[in-house]
Chains A and B, each alone.
Chain A
Amino acid sequence: MMSIGAVLKNGLLVVSATMMLVILYLIFMWVPTDNIQGTVQRIMYFHVSVAWVAFLAFFIVLVGSVGYLWKGTSKWDQLAYSAAEIGVLLTTLLLITGILWAKPIWGVWWTWEPRLTTSLMLWLIYVAYLMLRAYSPPGNQGARYAAVLGIIGFIDVPIVYYSVKLWRTVHPQVIVGPAASGSLDASMRNLLLLAVATFTVLFVYLLIARFSLRKSEDEVELIRGLAEHSPNLPPSLR
């Protein structure tokens, strides 16, 4: 018998896999090609969806961090840590798809435009978050440090965005992004919404999977700690 949690987790896996296949078909076979950017514009469905889920992930890091500092229970910390790992993965994908899209359309791999720069800063802040977790002393202290960074990192993002915008006004602008390319066709817009929904389901699945794994990891740590103080346990558990 599977528990309700396991049924939910497997259900989400099946749903997200099916949705992913459907949007892959729609993106490459069904949706019309953009008449200015050509076929490369299809990367938008991935790029925008990944961006949305990445920001969602970092928002959950914020929620988990605030919850942990407030309540002090480790499930909040496990939530924040799991979301941060997935968030870094998604931001990496965001930056890679952005670079691939920018080269044929803007003619450059990278430009220090506010959204790009802010995404890069987000990536750096949460890579630092994961490094902090890896280098911190085990236990509550590392979790508290991470929670502090999880909060200030999120607060800092709008200030970074504003500062880069201010900085860019004295530099030449290269803006041809999705916002500037005019309104989207109805079929494109609907597909984009479906793609965003698909990635959100995938994200929820990944978060639940990582969260339960993290819980087990912490339990193993706890048992190891107890085993060191009780000589009667078999050596394989120590």
Chain B
Amino acid sequence: MTKFWPTVAALMWKDIMLELRTKDIVISILAFALLSLVIFNFALGPSSQITSAVAPGVLWVAFTFAGVLGLTRSFVLEKDQGNLIGLMLTPTSREAIYVGKMLGSFFFMLMSEIILLPVFAVLFNISPFRLELLLIILLATIGFASIGTLFSAIAINTKSREIMLPMLFLPIVVPIIIGAVMASSTAFESGPWSDMVKPVQLIVVFDVVALIFSAFAFEHVLQE
């Protein structure tokens, strides 16, 4: 059995190299999220009051759905080119494969979100650059990536995987969406940190539960 963290790092590095060459995941997340921000503007009408009231919701809808797209991509290449079988045959623990894939997805989602944030700020006339907001995005993305990697590994082996992943993922991540929307609307209104503590705690609880459960359950998912 190889060492845990070097394996994780190697897996993550493989995903990042692949992404640097294809730019597949980040581009699809960015394009989809940008389009949904634009479409939301039309759906909500030209009134700037409505736009600023719903801005946190729009931001997280865009992040969530774009995240689902990125998570689907994360196992498509592994599966379609037989790489997953190869990974499972190597003498690494399933936990290492899980953590490696999860960190990769986390990294791509976070990169896309950081690129999207200024675009969002311009389109919705909001100045979102607060340290608290970055923390919220960081924590929520950990939750998305941790449970999303587990469900992505499940959905990839089902018929109609494009619909299966959102069906599994969205009802389960409702606590993150609620917590992130609540905390970021306080952040946009320049509210105090004390108003964000409870939603942030909620996201942290979800992250811890999701990480522990997914690392345990991944072993049962990756079995032939």
| A binding-site residues for B, Cβ under 8 Å | 69, 121, 124-125, 127-128, 131-132, 135-137, 140-141, 144-145, 147-149, 151-153, 155-156, 159-160, 162-164, 166-167, 170
Contacts and interface: CB of A to CB of B under 8 A. Distances in A.
Contacts of B205: 159
A164 B178 contact: yes
A149 B158 contact: no
A2 B90 CA distance: 54
Range of interface residues on chain B?
20 to 34
B221 A145 contact: yes
Interface of B: 147, 150, 154, 157-160, 164, 167-168, 170-172, 174-175, 178-179, 182, 198-199, 202, 205-206, 209-210, 213, 217, 220-221, 223-224
A125 B210 CA distance: 16
Contact of A144 (B170, B171, B223): B223
20 contacts: A124-B171, A125-B171, A132-B154, A141-B224, A145-B154, A145-B221, A148-B150, A148-B154, A148-B220, A148-B221, A149-B168, A152-B147, A156-B172, A159-B205, A162-B175, A163-B174, A163-B178, A166-B182, A166-B199, A166-B202
Nearest to A124: B171
Contacts of A136: 157-158
B178 A167 contact: yes
A127 B168 CA distance: 9
A124 B168 CA distance: 9
A127 B53 CA distance: 33
B168 A141 contact: no
A90 B154 CA distance: 27
A69 B220 contact: yes
B205 to A, nearest CB: 7
Given A132-B168, A135-B164, A144-B223, A162 B202 contact: yes
Contacts of A140: 223
Contacts of A159: 175, 202, 205-206, 209
A121 B174 CA distance: 8
In terms of DSSP, what is the predominant structure of the interface of chain B? helix
Contacts, number: 85
| Listed residue (A127, A128, A148, A170) with the most chain B CB atoms within 10 angstroms of its CB | A148
B160 to A, nearest CB: 6
Given A159-B205, A160-B174, A166 B198 contact: yes
A144 B220 CA distance: 6
Contacts of A167: 178, 182
Given A135-B158, A135-B159, 18 more contacts: A124-B170, A128-B171, A131-B167, A135-B160, A135-B164, A136-B158, A137-B157, A141-B224, A148-B220, A149-B154, A152-B213, A155-B213, A160-B174, A162-B175, A162-B202, A163-B174, A164-B178, A167-B178
B179 A148 contact: no
Contact of A156 (B159, B175, B198, B220): B175
A128 B160 CA distance: 13
Contacts of A151: 213, 217
A141 B223 contact: yes
A147 B220 contact: yes
B213 A125 contact: no
Q: Which 4 A-B pairs have the closest CB atoms?
A: A163-B175, A135-B158, A124-B171, A163-B178
A170 B220 contact: no
A166 B178 contact: yes
